[in-house]
Structure 1
Amino acid sequence: MPRRLFALLVLAVATSSAAAVPAFRDVRDNWRSADIVVVDRHGDPVARVRDDFRARRGDWVTLADTSPALRTAIVLSEDRRFYAHSGVDWQGVAAAAWANMWNTRTRGASTLTMQLAGLLDEDLRAARGRSFGQKVGQAVSAASLEHGWSKDQILEAYLNLVPFRGELVGLSAMSQTLFGKVPSGLNAREAALAVALVRSPNAAPVQVSARACRILREMKQPRECDGLDGFTALALAKSASVPDASFRANLAPHLARAVIARTREALPAGRPVPARIASTLDAEVQRVAVDSLSRHLRELAGRNAEDGAVVVIDNASGDVLAYVGSSGALSSAAQVDHAGAPRQAGSTLKPFLYAQAIEERRLTAASLLDDRPVNLPTGGGLYIPQNYDHRYAGWVSLRAALGSSLNVPAVRTLVMVTPHRFHRRLVALGLPLTESGDYYGYSLALGSADVSLLSLTNAYRSFANQGAYGPVRMTVDGAPVTRQPVMSPAASYVIGDVLADRHARARTFGLDSPLTTRFWTAVKTGTSKDMRDNWCIGWSQRYTVGVWIGNASGASMHDVSGVSGAAPVWHDVMAALHRQTSSRAPAMPAGVERVPLTFADNLEPAREEVFLTGTAMTRIRVGAASSSNGAPAIASPADGTIFALDPDIPPDAQRVWFHADGLTGQTARAVSWRIDGKPLGKGGQVAWLPWPGRHRVELVDAAGKVVDDIGIEVRGASVREAGPQRTSMRR
């Protein structure tokens, strides 16, 4: 067809079709990465999560952020007269027609603008060659594009829309996948290799290398062809090996997945998740947490500790400022979110137990607790708790017992509070306990329940908020969190005062440890059974920080305790948070008083102690302060215990013993016991001949008032006339 006639046809059709060509701004604004990008509270990207698996696309790249070498290579290779023609290169058309006539090869007549037209309109694309109508349509659209777009806009859109290799579409995905850098950093060799893929995206590496070398020669850089075959093969191998999750290293991949999941759940059905989500994360705090965790786990090399997690929460808002779900490359299960995974809590639940006992006025911070071996009858047998170091301190105050994380006093306290009520308190604090309090029994005092680092850290945040609990917030556009009172402000203050006292924890941790900071903090460690989980949770005036160390497999660590495992990371993060921010002790709330206190026989050093108003004591002696308000309580058996009579033991040889706590020598003689309303005996302990049925046991003071009561059940059995005697009844 004569050139003039073809041009007139193109212009005529273009005039009628110009409205069908989209505006540059619409194309750019409608571009969507294959990833959902999660940014921090300041707008900095912290993670990319693959959401569209049809193609791998990155962010839109402006021409100003594109390597000059790449711009030069693409024009030389695909459209040498790009800046001279009006969409159709008539010289190229004539050369192509002449070459086709003589059956010779040529560069082709399709301009960058015509190729862009095909990328914008699926009807103008063809897998194998184009029909005459498609070529005309491309020419028409190209003319319209040149009429409404600038040359830079055309080139920018082309580079963002063109497929490179496999599922890689656009300059951003190609550059970061093949070369691990942003498009502005591509050098001449990388640019030539990228452009060589445009014409034959899935060609063999040797063919791509040969074409890239020809482009380099046209760029007047033939020396870059040296070693190009190996470079090409290595780069192209990456196109199939890069994980779908991202093009670049993610700073907070686990938080990103959690945020996306929460966002998707909140959206109406069928509505897509936004391409960009603003999280509450602070990238700087996140980096500090990541670096500290990685560094310390390397220091623990050889102790079988390879995984960890860190959570930082703003006390006032509930915003999650850092969320490190794993140790990354150090972990054999880097994709597992250990900040959200359930793990055994260990001693980290003790502060909530003591807070409840103080709130119920069963104990004060000065109350003496017996740290000696104890056997507690349960529905499944005897529960025999032991201290971490298998040593016992005798009589210790609650302050020393909690500060030094002694186990036996905690279990004795749970006997007073009961597992059922303590379980209810933990659930109210957001801990996702899957079983009832009776299921855990007395071991709940020592953290036998599974909790996540996020939920546990947020529960500790309640101490910083005067006992009020509120959910965390992970996105900045989320609704403001509301808090509900769970613990009393007075009891929360007392626990904070104890956990901030380095002298209280000196017996176990010494005076100088990673738990000690130059500013006010309150902190607790925990280690689960067989050193499988290691915790350190604490708060300052503004932040609550939680750290977990362990193994994804659940394997035991070797000689890693709370103070040597998680505590150093906690200390690093807290120090970074308060590098320029002070932290002061909280103001004493109403209902709390500070009173000078001494101990008889120098049991503990004299000090000023904090008490709930009305429970204060100025001097403590053994046997006089096991109950803060002087009210005795039933220590054992536990409420709801089931006893089974042993048929091999004569009935009159089987006894159930009832023990009372909180008694002095005088009150021990004054209290009495009743069972099913009938007198049983007097004193701190009595024996009872059991008979089948359900029974109510009451402890009565000298005035005849019932101060505590429990329910038990005895299950009967037929008694044998003869047989070997056994030493105890089954429980």
Structure 2
Amino acid sequence: MKLIRWIKKNRMKSAIAVVLLIWYYFCLPKELFKEPYATVIESKEGELLSARIAADGQWRFPAQDNVPYKFKQCITHFEDEYFYKHPGFNPVSIVKAIQDNYKAGKVVRGGSTLTQQVIRLSRNKNRTYWEKLVELVLATRLELRYSKDEILNLYAAHAPYGGNVVGLEMASWRYFGVQPHQLSWAETATLAVLPNAPGLIYPGRNQDELVAKRNGLLKKLFEEGVIDATTYELSIQEEPPQKPFDLPQTAPHLLQNITIKRGEGHRVKTTVNAALQRQVNQIAKRYYNEYRQTEIHNLAILVVDVKTRNIVAYTGNAPTDRVHQKDVDIITAPRSTGSVLKPLLFASMLDAGELLPNTLIADIPAQIAGYSPKNYDMTYDGAVPAQKALSRSLNIPAVLMLKEYGIERFYDRLQDFKLNDVNKGANHYGLSLILGGAESNLWDLCQTYAGMTSTLNYFTKNDAKYRTNEFAELNWDSTRKRNFGEETYNKPELGAGAIWLTYNAMKEVNRPEEDGAWRFYDSSLEIAWKTGTSFGGRDAWAIGTSPRYVVGVWVGNASGEGRPSLTGVGSAAPVLFDVFHLLPHQPWFKPPLNDLEEVAVCSKSGHLAGENCTAVMQWVPPAGKKTTVCPYHMLVHLDASLQYRVNSNCEPVAAIVNKPWFVLPPVMEWYYKKLHTDYMPLPPVREDCNEGSDTVMDFIYPRNNSKIYLTKDFNGELQPVIFKAAHTHTNAKLFWYINNEYLGMTQTFHEMPVEVKTGQYYITITDESGNEITRSVEIISK
């Protein structure tokens, strides 16, 4: 009541008091420090990985949550012994400072508390008595907003330490090469006295004065019982800082990635394992020093924890130089995919029931809509099991598989996998999509393989269930956890069975024995892996997965300049295996039996078994039961000698021997039997029998309705076109015609060179039995 009566009686004074209170409440800015900060990334253990200088050219780290105990003791005993007792200013210190300065005729002592110094650092104004008064008022307001430890954190983050070094953390790295909590008492004392006189820190200058100030503080700490006598004696013997240390730059390209996504001035605690990151960097450096001898200057390595989808190692480039673009982050850069998409097609076809693991795929010269794929070694197997084609990375079977599966369909599947750089439409890529015609990056590819691996792991461990967001984005932020969606019995992208069968195929190594790179392969290391090499030796890939980790490697030149020695198997695979040897070894994937069914398949063709083939049991995805029954086994009618085919027109039915026979189409057979000495061509039809028209011969080259470009030799002379054909009978004679004009006869090896001019032609071949085939071609001169 008395207060109300006083307010009514003293309205003017009350109004002034209210205004002053409102001013006092709002006088302290919400954002005390507006200076830009350095961008800092730490490992999951809190170890500094890399940092980028602040926009104003100062090394100023964002404030930490706490200040180390040693620095807290040192700074308060040196600057403000009553820090934890005063309200923001210390009247006794102010009076003593005025007296001492008056007697000396100059400023010899300051009376500012640490709280006032925080205000002074934030305002950065000229030091006048009026400014001192303002600082005092704002200091009391600061004490009401923040705790004592928070105020100390602000001081530690913004105290000047000479040159462009600001704050305790940066000073600790710059002058001693360690984190603040790792400093000794002598080192901490040095950094406690420096903000009072930062000019003392320059190496080789003022060393005695700096040591004297430091030792004075250490003596005070000893006298007040903060440190013991032994610690004091040892501390004063330590040398002052000499040559400045460089900041750690263990993951500079991850820092670059984070800065792009989050902006500058943040401190980010990443998911990176610091020890593993250093080891991966050492591997990158070792291979860089080896590869640069052949003018290969860049490489990148990414390691992902499948369970969490966390990045545990991120080496974005080799330790090369600026001329060779050392600052380019290869992990996020789009590059030609080579063959690394082949497992995705294999798994998709398995999952859709359009392929079984050992289904024979044609491996013959092919021309599809003007596109002529070639195998890397320029050879042909005729026919090869699908999983062997995958493990050997054969191009022609992959193209034929893509043609069967559908380009648009596979393109849509890649969008489901979030391969963001495959973005130009299916028609743009065509069949080259599976051979490196598209671009992707190491981040997206590792994300895709991690999603596949996690799909398989979760299914086998959680009662045949999937998750709706299994192909989640990779993560580098330790404060975030990925949401993998809800449990479901519906497969998200691929079924676990198809993934398991694909990984089994990727584990099988079937490469040429003369390939020296395989000395790096350790068969005891069970991983599913795939290499890729882009056209012209521009990109070498290797991506592998165990149940716990995915590792991706890219090797090449950031400029896109190719090298003939650059291959996925020879350049990227050795790096991949060295990285996997750093990781804990994992047992192989458990079979997802709830997404597999055992069926009978032909042992030779890999198709579902019919009645005419020898069957073996094999695990396949449920949809695999709807694939076609083997088309390559037929029941052949033979005479008693088993040398000729017969029929009821020329042999008594009772004398006919019926025998199952494995028969490939002529062109496939022509190449296949060269590599399979046990392959038995169909016996010829006995001359007295009238057999129906079988497909006994076919063109190897050219394909029907194709365009053939004439080439010239070094003398400018046009070279002949060489047509090729295959016949099921080894010694068959073939007769060749062009536009009804006879060219000649071939036997055993059916190749016919023809000198022609530009124009449209019909090539016709007949054999001794009257079988005939024709091809239409257009000859074009370049």
TM-score, normalised by the number of residues in structure 1: 0.64
C-alpha distance in structure 1 between counterparts of 2:508 and 2:260, whole Å: 41
Q: For residues 197-596 of structure 1, what are the structure 2 equivalents within 5 Å?
A: 198-199=196-197, 212=210, 215=213, 235=244, 247-251=247-251, 253-259=252-258, 262=261, 275=266, 277=268, 279-283=270-274, 286-315=277-306, 318-328=309-319, 332-358=324-350, 363-372=355-364, 374=365, 376=367, 378=369, 383-431=371-419, 432-464=421-453, 465=455, 470-474=471-475, 475=477, 476-481=480-485, 485-487=492-494, 489-502=496-509, 504-505=510-511, 514=520, 516-518=522-524, 520-557=526-563, 559-579=565-585, 583-587=589-593, 589-591=595-597, 593=599, 595=601
Retained in 2: the 8 A contact 1:87–1:146?
A: no
Change (3 A) 1:324 1:196: closer
- AA of the residue aligned to 1:728: I
Change (3 A) 1:548 1:149: closer
Query: For residues 15-61 of structure 1, what are the alpha-carbon distances to aligned partners after superposition, in whole Å with 9 as ceiling and x for unaligned?
Result: x99x9699xxx999999992455556676665556677585234438
Change (3 A) 1:326 1:616: farther
Retained in 2: the 8 A contact 1:411–1:442?
A: yes
Query: For residues 464-488 of structure 1, what are the alpha-carbon distances to aligned partners after superposition, in whole Å with 9 as ceiling and x for unaligned?
Result: 3369962324142444357963445
Query: For residues 231-275 of structure 1, what are the alpha-carbon distances to aligned partners after superposition, in whole Å with 9 as ceiling and x for unaligned?
Result: 77x54xx8xxx7xxxx54344x444554565567xxxxxxxx995
Query: For residues 477-524 of structure 1, what are the alpha-carbon distances to aligned partners after superposition, in whole Å with 9 as ceiling and x for unaligned?
Result: 44435796344555444323322223x446686996555543643221
Q: Check if 1:130 corresponds to 2:181.
A: no
C-alpha distance in structure 2 between counterparts of 1:401 and 1:142, whole Å: 75
Residue aligning to 1:94:
99
Residue aligning to 1:623:
664
Q: Percent identity?
A: 25
C-alpha distance in structure 2 between counterparts of 1:60 and 1:315, whole Å: 31
C-alpha distance in structure 2 between counterparts of 1:59 and 1:528, whole Å: 47
Structure 1, unaligned stretches of length 5 or more?
1-12, 265-272, 628-633, 647-658, 666-713, 715-725
- AA of the residue aligned to 2:165: L
Q: Secondary structure at the match of 1:376?
A: coil
Q: Check if 1:169 corresponds to 2:174.
A: no
- AA of the residue aligned to 2:314: Y
Cα distance, 1:95 vs structure 2: 2.3
Residue aligning to 2:779:
728
Q: Secondary structure at the match of 2:331?
A: coil
Q: Secondary structure at the match of 2:339?
A: helix
Cα distance, 1:401 vs structure 2: 1.9
Retained in 2: the 8 A contact 1:36–1:48?
A: yes
Query: For residues 264-312 of structure 1, what are the alpha-carbon distances to aligned partners after superposition, in whole Å with 9 as ceiling and x for unaligned?
Result: 7xxxxxxxx9955565555565455444433443444523333222233
Q: Compare CA radii of gyration and give the structure with the larger one.
A: 2
C-alpha distance in structure 1 between counterparts of 2:550 and 2:37, whole Å: 35
Cα distance, 1:526 vs structure 2: 0.8
C-alpha distance in structure 2 between counterparts of 1:531 and 1:87, whole Å: 77
Query: For residues 323-372 of structure 1, what are the alpha-carbon distances to aligned partners after superposition, in whole Å with 9 as ceiling and x for unaligned?
Result: 33223467843432211111111111222333445556655433334434
Q: Secondary structure at the match of 2:303?
A: strand
Change (3 A) 1:579 1:59: farther
Q: Which deviates more, 138-147 or 459-468?
A: 138-147
Retained in 2: the 8 A contact 1:87–1:139?
A: no
C-alpha distance in structure 1 between counterparts of 2:398 and 2:388, whole Å: 11
Cα distance, 1:452 vs structure 2: 0.6
TM-score, normalised by the number of residues in structure 2: 0.61
Cα distance, 1:416 vs structure 2: 3.4
Q: Which deviates more, 185-194 or 536-545?
A: 185-194
Q: Secondary structure at the match of 1:348?
A: coil
Cα distance, 1:406 vs structure 2: 1.8
Retained in 2: the 8 A contact 1:196–1:211?
A: no
Change (3 A) 1:508 1:609: farther
Q: Which deviates more, 506-515 or 523-532?
A: 506-515
The alignment yields a C-alpha RMSD, in angstroms, of 5.8
C-alpha distance in structure 1 between counterparts of 2:156 and 2:506, whole Å: 59
Change (3 A) 1:178 1:450: same
Q: Secondary structure at the match of 1:572?
A: helix
Q: Check if 1:597 corresponds to 2:597.
A: no
Q: Check if 1:108 corresponds to 2:149.
A: no
Change (3 A) 1:146 1:425: closer
Structure 2, unaligned stretches of length 5 or more?
1-16, 220-232, 457-465, 607-613, 634-660, 670-698, 711-723, 730-775
Retained in 2: the 8 A contact 1:259–1:279?
A: no
Change (3 A) 1:216 1:174: closer
Q: Secondary structure at the match of 2:501?
A: helix
Aligned residues: 605
Q: Secondary structure at the match of 1:536?
A: strand
Residue aligning to 1:181:
178
Retained in 2: the 8 A contact 1:515–1:523?
A: no
- AA of the residue aligned to 1:174: A
Query: For residues 592-616 of structure 1, what are the alpha-carbon distances to aligned partners after superposition, in whole Å with 9 as ceiling and x for unaligned?
Result: 536471479xxxx998755522546
